[in-house]
Chains A and B, each alone.
Chain A
């Protein structure tokens, strides 16, 4: 009996050694956490320029004896065969072992994204053991290397913090698409709809022309002043079959988001010309509280899609001082006006996708899959070929919410009296 007890104790002690985690044990400060990978074309064919954005977890952390003086991030660029093998090459410069565990953004230059070979490169992400499918994809106007170097967030100094926040916020307001590696693979392999990636730049374009709307812009076009970061993330890059074919402005991205049911409802602040006074613009807040309805009919062999988009709209400003609260007629007029306006914009957008992109960016094929019994039938329908010639009609149904916090305004005439 006694012998047995000793045996058990020895066994227990031996088992605790397993707690060390065997070979995979690695101290946190032995790892260099890559937050973003930038990919650029290299002159030599088959090579790619990889830029690592490495975060410094210590930066900004309060420590005993004051904060560290280390910078929040470190950037390294090198030429490699792909972004898997570059990991070891980078270790010639970086002292710690390169880890993709916290990798959250893949930054690709537009030049490379438009290259037909881009797809070969990105599929190595499906092979790597550390890369997750929730990785966000950003396409930059300039070189990815330049983007990463120029991107200097002022308040969110740690890059992991910055990218997480700005992408999350941008998606909520519909200015940038929900673009992760999983949807890139799904859309590319699904061979029916286009994939949208986030479009960003630090390269300011000089534009003097006044814009018609605040959100009809693409990255680089916002006229901002002040001391903030140079980076702009607005609009999207359109990918067809794993290759970039075009780009969309922030407004188009928003329309795409409203037409898309796979995209979670967004909260959009935008402005329309005031129907009662042409000089001013009316600020509205739009959201989708119900799903769209989709209908498919056949017009003599030509498919006819009908999309009904229910919108919940709150009118937040009243520059012509119409006082919607007490004026039912004007509300009806406003509703009609907004419906026409939004429908027109959506119709224009759809026309653009049919003529310019030759494919849809809002996962239109997904709700219509119901109409097919088998995948064979669905493939024979050949969505990519059918969509550009199909007739697509959009109907908007507006439900008004509040008219601002204070619904009544003083009569302009009386104030000026």
Chain B
């Protein structure tokens, strides 16, 4: 009866991470990266991927000695009750903020590209209600759904990229360094938190079958996701050139509206459902993570019951801003800049604290 414990194996774990983090290539993340790095946005992503290895390795090291604890419990253990709770509350704010902003942006995409006449609040409510249902079913279900849907989502993405490469001009990726090294580094420093999800994934670390799976899965997922986003960024530049790509709010959706497959035009209606499904998985997972953290802070064992509450908060706050594509995008940039230091500094800090406390001494391996 291993299944009932709600643990997931390596394939579900990787699928889940790829879907949640990889989905960022289809919202306004590319636009944010293009802003400073211009056509060298893909280099920035590659650098972010490489640099992210550091905090992730530190984090995995800490997890290797606390295999039964999740991120929140480890933070409490390392920082002590008072400071630990403050750190967790800050993380919770960052996470919920990201959830609100990201889901708001997805709603904006749906209502401005596909369902133009439906009131956004209805779109938002339906989106979040589906995600809440998914999150309520638990981690194991989200993981299984992710694994089941992964091939469909990625095959359609592959088709999109293939046709945008076919319709694009390779020469557009030159000049290779975009605006120069400095803007690339600036982009990396500001937007590294596109991978902050990896930090939050620590919240479900004990639910992965074994530490080995966690370690292997995380590294693989990081590599795959980085590769995927890089390729997508190259495809967008090849299709639109840097000047236009930078101005597009949602390059992925402009791409699927532009390409046509043979005699088939208007193919966006074919790709849209797959994107939507990936979006459901992504926000289900985010909701689940936020609920876990909130439950941990408030010491609520059955944290699943927090999900409806969180969903309501998200819908209320996410639907509030005026002209969402501008406001939310600005909010997202801000959130990226706030989360970046957290993502980059927290894991090494945890490692140092664990070292000082001597947690690594009774390490067996």
Instruction: Please indicate whether A and B come from the same complex rather than being unrelated chains.
Output: yes
Interface string of A80-120 (1 = CB under 8 A from B): 00000000000000000000011000000000000000000
Residues of B contacting A374 in the complex (Cβ-Cβ under 8 angstroms): 175, 177-180
Residues of B contacting A24 in the complex (Cβ-Cβ under 8 angstroms): 114-118
Residues of A contacting B265 in the complex (Cβ-Cβ under 8 angstroms): 134
- Measured between alpha carbons, how far is A76 from B169 in the docked complex, in Å? 38
Counting chain B CB atoms within 10 Å of each CB, which of A101, A102, A185, A374 scores highest?
Answer: A374
Q: Is B174 touching A370 in the complex (CB atoms < 8 A)?
A: yes
- Measured between alpha carbons, how far is A21 from B272 in the docked complex, in Å? 14
Min C-beta distance of B285 to chain A, whole Å: 22
Min C-beta distance of A321 to chain B, whole Å: 43
Interface string of A174-210 (1 = CB under 8 A from B): 0000000010011001110000000000000000000
Min C-beta distance of B35 to chain A, whole Å: 13
- Measured between alpha carbons, how far is A370 from B172 in the docked complex, in Å? 9
Q: Is B119 touching A375 in the complex (CB atoms < 8 A)?
A: no
The residue that B122 contacts in the complex, of A23, A101, A261, A376, with Cβ under 8 A, is A23
Q: Is A186 touching B240 in the complex (CB atoms < 8 A)?
A: yes
The residue that A189 contacts in the complex, of B118, B175, B178, B241, with Cβ under 8 A, is B241
Q: Is B171 touching A369 in the complex (CB atoms < 8 A)?
A: yes
Q: A374-B178, A374-B179 are in contact. List 4 more A-B contacts (CB 8 A).
A: A21-B115, A133-B257, A182-B239, A372-B174
A296 on interface, CB distance cutoff 8 Å:
no
- Measured between alpha carbons, how far is A167 from B180 in the docked complex, in Å? 40
Q: Is B180 touching A376 in the complex (CB atoms < 8 A)?
A: yes
Known contacts A375-B179, A376-B180; A22/B171 CB under 8 A: no
Min C-beta distance of A122 to chain B, whole Å: 14
Known contacts A23-B117, A186-B243; A132/B172 CB under 8 A: no
Q: Is A376 touching B241 in the complex (CB atoms < 8 A)?
A: no
B113 on interface, CB distance cutoff 8 Å:
yes
Min C-beta distance of A375 to chain B, whole Å: 5
The residue that A22 contacts in the complex, of B118, B172, B177, with Cβ under 8 A, is B118
Residues of B contacting A18 in the complex (Cβ-Cβ under 8 angstroms): 126
A303 on interface, CB distance cutoff 8 Å:
no
- Measured between alpha carbons, how far is A186 from B171 in the docked complex, in Å? 13
The residue that A262 contacts in the complex, of B169, B174, B177, B178, with Cβ under 8 A, is B169
Min C-beta distance of B122 to chain A, whole Å: 6
A413 on interface, CB distance cutoff 8 Å:
no
The residue that B175 contacts in the complex, of A129, A133, A261, A373, with Cβ under 8 A, is A373
Residues of A contacting B112 in the complex (Cβ-Cβ under 8 angstroms): 129
Min C-beta distance of B164 to chain A, whole Å: 11
Min C-beta distance of B240 to chain A, whole Å: 6
A402 on interface, CB distance cutoff 8 Å:
no
Binding site for B on A (CB under 8 A): 18, 21-24, 101-102, 129-130, 132-134, 182, 185-186, 189-191, 261-262, 363, 366-367, 369-370, 372-378
Residues of A contacting B175 in the complex (Cβ-Cβ under 8 angstroms): 369-370, 372-375, 377-378
| Closest B residue by C-beta to A11 | B133
Known contacts A185-B244, A375-B38; A367/B176 CB under 8 A: no
Counting chain A CB atoms within 10 Å of each CB, which of B126, B172, B247 scores highest?
Answer: B172
- Measured between alpha carbons, how far is A130 from B117 in the docked complex, in Å? 12
Q: Is B258 touching A134 in the complex (CB atoms < 8 A)?
A: yes
B333 on interface, CB distance cutoff 8 Å:
no
Q: Which residues 208-248 of B sit at the A interface, judged by CB distance below 8 A? A: 239-244, 247
- Measured between alpha carbons, how far is A189 from B243 in the docked complex, in Å? 6
B39 on interface, CB distance cutoff 8 Å:
yes
- Measured between alpha carbons, how far is A134 from B164 in the docked complex, in Å? 13
Interface size class of B (residues with CB under 8 A): 35 or more
Q: Is B241 touching A190 in the complex (CB atoms < 8 A)?
A: yes
- Measured between alpha carbons, how far is A130 from B244 in the docked complex, in Å? 18
Residues of B contacting A377 in the complex (Cβ-Cβ under 8 angstroms): 175
B304 on interface, CB distance cutoff 8 Å:
no
Interface string of B322-336 (1 = CB under 8 A from A): 000000000000000
B260 on interface, CB distance cutoff 8 Å:
yes
Interface string of B109-149 (1 = CB under 8 A from A): 00011111111001000100000000000000000000000
- Measured between alpha carbons, how far is A287 from B177 in the docked complex, in Å? 35
Min C-beta distance of A11 to chain B, whole Å: 10
- Measured between alpha carbons, how far is A375 from B175 in the docked complex, in Å? 6
B197 on interface, CB distance cutoff 8 Å:
no
Residues of B contacting A261 in the complex (Cβ-Cβ under 8 angstroms): 169, 171
Q: Is A375 touching B39 in the complex (CB atoms < 8 A)?
A: yes
Counting chain A CB atoms within 10 Å of each CB, which of B39, B114, B258, B260 scores highest?
Answer: B258
| Closest B residue by C-beta to A132 | B257
Q: Is B122 touching A22 in the complex (CB atoms < 8 A)?
A: yes
- Measured between alpha carbons, how far is A262 from B126 in the docked complex, in Å? 43
A-B contact pairs, 22 of them (CB 8 A): A21-B115, A22-B118, A23-B117, A23-B118, A129-B116, A133-B254, A182-B239, A186-B240, A186-B244, A189-B247, A190-B241, A262-B171, A366-B169, A366-B171, A366-B172, A370-B176, A373-B177, A374-B175, A374-B178, A375-B38, A375-B179, A375-B242
The residue that B258 contacts in the complex, of A182, A189, A363, with Cβ under 8 A, is A182
Residues of A contacting B176 in the complex (Cβ-Cβ under 8 angstroms): 370, 373
Q: Is B258 touching A133 in the complex (CB atoms < 8 A)?
A: yes
Q: Is A190 touching B174 in the complex (CB atoms < 8 A)?
A: no
Known contacts A369-B175, A374-B180, A375-B179; A190/B113 CB under 8 A: no
B312 on interface, CB distance cutoff 8 Å:
no
Q: Is A129 touching B179 in the complex (CB atoms < 8 A)?
A: no
Residues of B contacting A130 in the complex (Cβ-Cβ under 8 angstroms): 116
- Measured between alpha carbons, how far is A189 from B157 in the docked complex, in Å? 28
Closest 3 CB pairs of A and B: A189-B243, A366-B171, A369-B174
Interface string of B292-326 (1 = CB under 8 A from A): 00000000000000000000000000000000000
Residues of A contacting B115 in the complex (Cβ-Cβ under 8 angstroms): 21-24
Residues of B contacting A185 in the complex (Cβ-Cβ under 8 angstroms): 244
Residues of B contacting A182 in the complex (Cβ-Cβ under 8 angstroms): 239-240, 244, 258
Min C-beta distance of B41 to chain A, whole Å: 12
The residue that A376 contacts in the complex, of B113, B179, B258, with Cβ under 8 A, is B179
Q: Is B116 touching A370 in the complex (CB atoms < 8 A)?
A: no
- Measured between alpha carbons, how far is A129 from B171 in the docked complex, in Å? 29
- Measured between alpha carbons, how far is A370 from B201 in the docked complex, in Å? 41
The residue that A132 contacts in the complex, of B122, B171, B258, with Cβ under 8 A, is B258
Residues of A contacting B118 in the complex (Cβ-Cβ under 8 angstroms): 22-24
Residues of B contacting A373 in the complex (Cβ-Cβ under 8 angstroms): 175-177, 180
| Closest A residue by C-beta to B179 | A375
Residues of B contacting A132 in the complex (Cβ-Cβ under 8 angstroms): 257-258, 266
